[in-house]
Amino acid sequence: MNNPFSLEGKVALITGASYGIGFAIASAMHAAGATIVFNDINQEKVDLGIKAYAEKNIKAYGYVCDVTKEDQVQAMVAKIEEEVGVIDILVNNAGIIKRIPMCEMTADQFRQVIDVDLNAPFIVSKAVIPSMIKKGHGKIINICSMMSELGRETVSAYAAAKGGLKMLTRNICSEYGEYNIQCNGIGPGYIATPQTAPLREKQPDGSMHPFDSFIRAKTPAGRWGEAEDLGGPAVFLASDASNFVNGHILYVDGGILAYIGKQPQ
């Protein structure tokens, strides 16, 4: 039997994958055989991404594109099809968060988060689906969040966007499953990235950061996730091994959503 987890011959577009979670997912897909394409908001970030991939001996194709702009996305997808090939796998990874109390957040700040985290996956998915239909298959993976299920202080816009992304995932499944297109989501838990590093630093007295202690106590695995923890789930959802998995959100969170937390001592 052929390896159902192989991505040989597939072209994978991972948005915003110059670093972090997107970079880790792209690296895992490359290891499974995929050709990697990514975008970022400006040439400087694209160049840094190309350099990072090259350091791992990965030939990646980088494009400058603002994924909230439909004309730019359509032009990028057309260019990828011409220069690399039809996109078989799309990972809607690009995203932002603004940690601002709801009553202090402006409507424009709220709209910006919704635009990047929800409108952009709609725009990019819409751009790649027609060619997927023509080709007879396609995989779309939306990077959701535990905030697709939970609320938390200061993340009203992010939670609204990620909750909407969960339902967009299910609706793409509903509309395009008959064309052999599978659309699923991955919901990362708390991942150790440069952005979360300040929350994991030891305090001057040698104790853990309060938020670090909070997350470890709330996670059955007892640790933060690593970006590489998302690679296997992403390869599964991008491969033929998941051909009858559709409209599903796979939470990669160390068990945090299943756990009520430890009883206070």
Look up residue 232 and give its DSSP letter.
H
Q: Is 151 left (phi over 0), alpha (psi -120 to 50) or beta?
A: beta
- One-letter amino acid at 242 equals S
Nearest to 187 by CA among 207, 171, 165, 205: 165
For residue 249, what are the β-bridge partners?
185
Q: Which of 61, 63, 158, 176 is catalytic?
A: 158
Residue 252, token pair as written in the block? 């990669």
The answer to whether residue 158 is catalytic is yes
Encoded tokens for 59: 């030939």
**76 membership: H or E segment, kind and range:** helix 70-83
Partnered with residue 225 across adjacent β-strands are 191
3-state secondary structure of 40: strand
Using a CB cutoff of 8 Å and minimum separation of 24, what contacts does 3-9 make? 4/239, 4/240, 4/241, 5/32, 5/235, 5/236, 5/239, 5/240, 5/241, 6/32, 6/33, 6/239, 6/240, 7/32, 7/33, 7/34, 7/89, 7/235, 7/238, 7/239, 8/32, 8/33, 8/34, 9/33
37 close to 60: Cβ distance less than 8 angstroms? yes
For the annotated catalytic residues, the residue numbers are 158
